[in-house]
Structure formats: C-alpha cells, structure tokens
A = this chain, B = another copy of it.
Amino acid sequence: MIVILKHGVDGEKRDQLIQWLKHLGLGVHVSEGEYQTILGLIGDTARVDMDLIASLGIVDSVKRVTDPFKCCNRKFHPADTVVEVGGVKIGGGNFCMIAGPCSVESEEQIITVAKAVKAAGANILRGGAFKPRTSPYDFQGLKATGIELLKAAREATGLPIVTEIMSTNYLPLFEDVDIIQVGARNMQNFDMLRELGQLRKPILLKRGLANTLKELLMSAEYIMAGGNEQVILCERGIRTFDDYTRHTLDLAAVPMLRELTHLPVIVDPSHATGMARLVEPMALASAACGADGLIIEVHNDPLHALCDGAQSLRPEEYAVLADKVRRVREVVA
C-alpha cells in the first residue's frame, strides 16, 4: 500500500502517522520526493483501513498495490480453472451451453424442454425452483417439488442440472443438485457465500446489478476462502440509465475477467436483455469475445410460461443459435 502525503506537510504530523502505522505492525518505507513524500507500507496491509488513512488531513491519497483477491487471482494461479460436473467441463477451452426454462412448472414441461435443449446442443439443464421476484404477489416457484422435477429431467436426459438457491435454510434440498446458482440479488449475501464455501460443489455466481468486477471477484473469494474452488462467474447485465433493454450487458467484462481470474466466465443474454429477439445476437457476441459458456432461457411454449416468457427462445430458435455459436467459436478459439 502506498500513502502519498500532501505537499509541504508538517514534519511532526508525518512522524506521528509513521509511528501509528508501525504500531499496526507494518513496515514503512519513506521516500522523500521534491514535491511529495510517499510512504510504502509493507506487511499485512489487508487489515489497514484505506479510507480512514485517506481521510487524514495530511494525506493526499492512498493506493493499494496488491489486489485484495487472492484465491481467484490469475497472478497466483495462471492456468484456467476447469469445473467438471456430470461429465461436462467448463473453462480451459471447454464451452458450456446451459439452457432451460426460467421456472420449472411441471414434470411434462421440464422433461419436454430438457429433451429439446439437449437435442439442440445444450449440455447442462437450467430451471428455477425458487424464484426471486420483485413482488411478493408474483409466482415464487415450485420450490422442493421443482428440484425433484429437475432431477427427473436429469434422469430422463443425462444433463447435469443447475438451479438457484435463495436461502441457505434450503441447502439440504440442493444436496443432489449439480451446480448451485447464486443470483444477482444475492451476490453480496456474504453469509450465504461463506456457507457455500463449505461445500465441494460448483457454484454459479452471477454478477450483481450494481457491482464492479472487483466486487464480483471478492464474492468469489468468500466462497473460495472456505475451500470450495469450483466457482463459475456469470455476467448478466448491469443497471444503467439506458432503458431500451432490461439491463445493459457489459460484455467487455468477459475479456477483462478472463485476464484477472482463472475462473470460467459465462454470459446470460436472456436476463440481460429481457427480449427473446436480442438473445441470439448477444449470445454470438459473447462467444466472439471469449466467454466460456452461455446460460439461456428456452421454453417450449413461451406464451404460457409462468415467468419471463418474453425472453425465452423456442427450442428450434435455440438450435439455430447453438449452431452459430459453435461456428463463431471456431473462428475465435
């Protein structure tokens, strides 16, 4: 950590600050320039309150030199992490195609969709059992029953399953789920992240609507610090002033995250745009800029979907998309 003092700072105050920093157990390397004095702090700077130091009258600014994320940092782990689940690999050049309905609605629905997306090229099945809804009066998902139906669909197709958790109270229900999804609204539910860190099961961590890439990595760090290193990151749109699409898909986050971390990075163009007709172009763009996979909503009957029908593709549309994604991947991979 580097502390830049204000020009012409009083010598006594400077020495007091240095003493105080040393009392925190830090080494302090003083560099007197012509225009400013710089303190280089050495030691366990993770415990230093950067904002507090910056607020001191004699300090111009403070800068961290080392990233606060370690387990997920590519600097310390250059090779891509490959997450493996039910015979499917994600990351390290392995592209995953996760597809399925927004909500699990019935056995017939989920098995029909599962077979259709498998035929169209998907290798993992998604489906919501617990649904985060803005309104308490909206459909909240089939819950435990929904998870049972997902397992039936896995049985019928061989596809591993991913579904969202909304409270660790339900953790026992997720024991036999292949990948647990943490939704955007829970990205900084730190207690939940910590509990998921105790599992040895892949976690699909979606970026929050207003979270920076660093915050997303810090949330992955919560999981990994507990020993669970199978984290998949997911860009799904951020909140901006723009109002044509539901959210603004931040695709530059994909190459940026791939540089910062060794974890796989996938994209959810369905929730990002909220419009079925934008899913294919944004899926192709995601593949083109280096994503490790896609999670896409597919429904056999979007008009009668209980949730998010507006952004669901039909299986035949998904098959066209999947084929184009494969061909784009051949160009860029």
Nearest chain B residue, comparing its CB with the CB of A331? B327
Partner of A55, one of B61, B240, B309, B327: B309
For the complex formed, measure the closest distance between the CB of A42 and the CB atoms of chain B, giving whole angstroms: 5
Residues on B with C-beta less than 8 A from A248 are 238, 240, 248, 250, 252
Residues on B with C-beta less than 8 A from A238 are 210, 240-242, 248
User: Is there an interface contact between B185 and A188, defined as CB atoms closer than 8 Å?
Assistant: yes
| Number of interface residues, chain A, beta carbon within 8 A | 106
User: Is there an interface contact between A245 and B252, defined as CB atoms closer than 8 Å?
Assistant: yes
Docked complex Cα distance between A241 and B324 (Å)? 33
What 0/1 readout, one digit per residue, does chain A (61-72) give for beta carbons within 8 Å of chain B? 101011010000
User: Is there an interface contact between B274 and A215, defined as CB atoms closer than 8 Å?
Assistant: no
What 0/1 readout, one digit per residue, does chain A (153-190) give for beta carbons within 8 Å of chain B? 00000000000001111000000000000000110111
Residues on B with C-beta less than 8 A from A212 are 241-244
Cβ < 8 Å to B, chain A residues 196-217: 208-210, 212-215
User: Is there an interface contact between B185 and A310, defined as CB atoms closer than 8 Å?
Assistant: no
Partner of A285, one of B2, B66, B278, B288: B288
Residues on B with C-beta less than 8 A from A287 are 288
Nearest chain B residue, comparing its CB with the CB of A190? B132
User: Is there an interface contact between A36 and B65, defined as CB atoms closer than 8 Å?
Assistant: yes
Cβ < 8 Å to B, chain A residues 202-259: 208-210, 212-215, 218, 221-222, 225, 238-245, 248-256, 259
For the complex formed, measure the closest distance between the CB of A45 and the CB atoms of chain B, giving whole angstroms: 10
Q: For the complex, is A305 an interface residue (Cβ under 8 Å from B)?
A: yes
Residues on B with C-beta less than 8 A from A49 are 305-310
Residues on B with C-beta less than 8 A from A310 are 49, 51-52, 54-55
Residues on B with C-beta less than 8 A from A33 are 29, 31, 40, 42
Cβ < 8 Å to B, chain A residues 79-101: none
Q: For the complex, is A38 an interface residue (Cβ under 8 Å from B)?
A: yes
For the complex formed, measure the closest distance between the CB of A292 and the CB atoms of chain B, giving whole angstroms: 13
Cβ < 8 Å to B, chain A residues 107-136: 132-136
A284 with B213, Cβ < 8 A, contacts A134-B218, A189-B189, A272-B252 known: no
A35 with B42, Cβ < 8 A, contacts A185-B188, A256-B244, A256-B278 known: yes
Residues on B with C-beta less than 8 A from A191 are 166-167, 169
Docked complex Cα distance between A254 and B223 (Å)? 36
User: Is there an interface contact between B68 and A275, defined as CB atoms closer than 8 Å?
Assistant: no
For the complex formed, measure the closest distance between the CB of A291 and the CB atoms of chain B, giving whole angstroms: 9
Lowest 7 A-B CB distances belong to which pairs? A210-B210, A31-B31, A55-B310, A288-B288, A285-B285, A167-B191, A281-B289
Interface residues in chain A, defined as those with a beta carbon under 8 Å from any beta carbon in chain B: 2, 4, 20, 27, 29, 31, 33-36, 38, 40, 42, 46-47, 49, 51-52, 54-56, 60-61, 63, 65-66, 68, 132-139, 166-169, 185-186, 188-192, 194, 208-210, 212-215, 218, 221-222, 225, 238-245, 248-256, 259, 272-278, 281-282, 284-290, 302-303, 305-311, 324, 327-328, 331-332
Sampled A-B contacts (7; CB under 8 Å): A4-B65, A33-B42, A46-B138, A68-B137, A238-B240, A249-B252, A288-B288
